[in-house]
Chain A
């Protein structure tokens, strides 16, 4: 399967290039090779899609895991992301790289899942609230210092609930800005909202996170 894919060879790290030059060349090679695979899929060879799945799925998983906080959901979203990408490949205009495009799809798939999950939680508010309170209480128990939290791994327990209390839009905007390094303009394009809305989602997310992490980090000034 996909054995006859005509994908260009990657640049060799052995040639005399600086690390930056090498990375830039590698990224350009990947984009070129992505474009080749996309063209082959469009020409009626679905097996060529394998190159794209194998190249981007790990990175997409990191994004979806940060969004959902659940490995199983994250994997399901990765699968759904690539299926949506396959179905909508005719809409991919090549202005952004395939990686960026598939990232946007993953962010939106994650957003859909978090929204659906929130709706379910609204239907069972007591249980969700109680679980949240217990989790937060256990995380901040015994008035831990930042050092202790950081080194004992308890900070981890505080971070996830902090992220989960954000609204779906706030969480998506924050993850894209903070972890994926996307600028506000790109986030607004990815989520189909105005730049102002994307910016305010990030601001609100940061405010809420600071409040949630106050027990460990000290009060927000």
Chain B
């Protein structure tokens, strides 16, 4: 009688089809093969006791927080490519928005004591323009922070390019922060306040950093959770804008 091979027994143990052999039938009548199967079963069953640590309760959230910045970076790279396809239109738009905000802010200051109805209308317009402009501003700031946070370069790092952009953003940031304060939007003004400090840190660091200095900057970005806050406020601004657009559409119908 031909006995079952070890490979046949492995297939049988796992419930796979044993080719060309009626394994069940053979095992019923062959004590030697049953003994072999039992020995194999002992070894494989023992493998089940291999301990796997149970991750912490908030493991899923922690993992999302690890994955999220990299996803953001991917999205930003995709958007960059899109921007590149459409030339510098976005920057021109952002500049125009900044000018409008400044204009609206200044005119708001001048006409502060004029008729109530007019002030209320210009306030709404100002807030809406501010939202769009701040949204754009946050995206550009986020891009710099993600570039720095995800830079895996070993050894000295040159951040001069990011510094130039950070310097530009610091000036804009100041204006937006003042405008947000004026319109009473605390969440935005607080975020812009924190962002300003981070941008200033970047702008005023040496252009070429050794690993320790660069790690220090990255740690500061991560410690303040600024990327996460930017994302949350950015999403809120977009949501508010969507609501306004919807309201505007329903009014016009």
A: residues with CB less than 8 A from B are 1, 4, 46-47, 49-50, 53-55, 57-58, 61-62, 65-66, 71, 75, 78-79, 82-83, 86-87, 146, 150, 155-156, 159-160, 163, 177-178, 183-184, 199, 202-203, 206-207, 209-210, 213, 216-218, 220-221
> By the criterion CB–CB under 8 Å, are A177 and B47 in contact?
no
Task: Give the residues in chain A near B66, CB-CB below 8 Å.
Answer: 75, 79
Task: Out of A66, A177, A213, name the residue touching B43 (CB < 8 Å).
Answer: A213
Task: Out of B40, B63, B72, B75, name the residue touching A82 (CB < 8 Å).
Answer: B63
A interface footprint on B35-79 (CB within 8 Å = 1, 0 otherwise): 110011011101101111101000111011011101110110000
Q: Could you say which of B43, B44, B53 has the most chain A C-beta atoms within 10 Å of its C-beta?
A: B43
> By the criterion CB–CB under 8 Å, are B53 and A54 in contact?
no
| B interface, over-half SS | helix
Task: Give the residues in chain A near B239, CB-CB below 8 Å.
Answer: 4
Task: Give the residues in chain B near A47, CB-CB below 8 Å.
Answer: 235
Using a Cβ cutoff of 8 Å, how many contacts connect chains A and B? 108
**B3: min CB distance to chain A, Å:** 10
Task: Give the residues in chain A near B49, CB-CB below 8 Å.
Answer: 150, 155-156, 159
A interface footprint on B7-40 (CB within 8 Å = 1, 0 otherwise): 1001100101000000000000000000110011
Task: Out of B40, B46, B63, B70, name the residue touching A206 (CB < 8 Å).
Answer: B40
**B49: min CB distance to chain A, Å:** 6
> By the criterion CB–CB under 8 Å, are A57 and B43 in contact?
no
Q: Could you say which of A62, A71, A210, A216 has the most chain B C-beta atoms within 10 Å of its C-beta?
A: A210
> By the criterion CB–CB under 8 Å, are B63 and A86 in contact?
no
